[in-house]
């Protein structure tokens, strides 16, 4: 079993998060449906791919990213029917970026591949790995949804909603034992191989990956 020696978030880290939330509250932005839509597109694409990996870990079948590509790229109908294409044609914002469909797809694929590599790499199907993928998927979607809502309405980020995304993942005020990863690791049974986590104590590492991915996506989309 691979073991990740990663410290749980410290008080200093919590202060840093609080500071980031405070900045989000003070930074108002103009209404932009295009930016909001693109943020939502990326969120759905990342969720789709992570869920495909999750299903693969549950069933032992190869992951199926094809349906994710079809939804994001528009399938055989081309760019005009793609998630970004429809938004750029409307240009309801106006759009802050154009022609970035491939770049954002590459970011999502790299993020998912990195998460998979760290959580289980080539390990056999595993319930713990599937559960951790779900944890990462939900936190990523949660944060991007908070941003998308703020962008659509032209409002500051909602600190309470954003904090919920973190609390569900790392346990919040209940402590690390109540975190999404910790609960899965507590269920491990040496007699049931599929419940034994290929990696442990990696919640902080994965949380950092999610935060870095979200920040990268928002920066590339031109979000304030």
> Are the C-beta atoms of 210 and 168 separated by less than 8 Å?
no
How far is residue 75's CA from residue 131's CA, in Å, rounded to a whole number? 30
Give me the pLDDT at residue 189, please. 93
> Are the C-beta atoms of 95 and 87 separated by less than 8 Å?
yes
How far is residue 94's CA from residue 198's CA, in Å, rounded to a whole number? 46
Burial class of residue 195, CB neighbours in 10 A (0-12, 13-18, 19+): middle
> Are the C-beta atoms of 119 and 203 separated by less than 8 Å?
no
- The 3-state DSSP class for residue 185 equals helix
111-155 residue pLDDT tens: 999 999 999 877 788 999 999 999 999 999 999 999 999 999 999
74-122 residue pLDDT tens: 988 889 999 999 999 999 999 999 999 999 999 999 999 999 999 987 7
Provide the residue ranges of all domains of the chain, joining segments of one domain with +: 30-220
Q: Please state which of the ranges 13-27, 58-72, 90-104 shows the lowest mean pLDDT.
A: 13-27
Give me the pLDDT at residue 159, please. 97
Burial class of residue 26, CB neighbours in 10 A (0-12, 13-18, 19+): exposed
> Are the C-beta atoms of 140 and 43 separated by less than 8 Å?
yes
Nearest Cα to Cα of residue 127 among 50, 204, 56: 56
Give me the pLDDT at residue 182, please. 97
């Amino acid at each position: 079993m691979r073991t990740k020696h990663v410290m749980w978030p410290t008080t200093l880290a919590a202060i840093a998060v609080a500071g980031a939330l405070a900045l989000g509250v003070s930074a108002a932005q103009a209404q932009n449906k295009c930016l909001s839509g693109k943020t939502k597109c990326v969120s759905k694409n990342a969720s789709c791919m992570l869920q495909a990996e999750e299903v693969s870990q549950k069933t032992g079948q190869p992951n199926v990213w094809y349906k994710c590509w079809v939804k994001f790229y528009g399938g055989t109908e081309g760019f005009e029917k793609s998630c970004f294409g429809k938004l750029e044609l409307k240009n309801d914002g106006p759009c802050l970026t154009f022609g970035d469909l491939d770049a954002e797809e590459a970011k999502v694929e790299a993020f998912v591949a990195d998460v998979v590599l760290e959580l289980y790499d080539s390990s056999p199907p595993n319930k713990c790995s599937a559960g951790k993928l779900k944890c990462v998927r939900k936190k990523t979607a949660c944060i991007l949804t908070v941003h998308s809502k703020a962008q659509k309405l032209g409002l500051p980020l909602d600190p309470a909603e954003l904090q919920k995304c973190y609390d569900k993942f790392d346990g919040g005020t209940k402590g690390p034992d109540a975190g999404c990863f910790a609960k899965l690791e507590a269920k491990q049974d040496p007699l049931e191989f599929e419940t034994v986590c290929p990696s442990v104590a990696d919640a902080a590492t994965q949380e950092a990956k999610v935060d870095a991915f979200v920040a990268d996506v928002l920066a590339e989309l031109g979000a304030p």
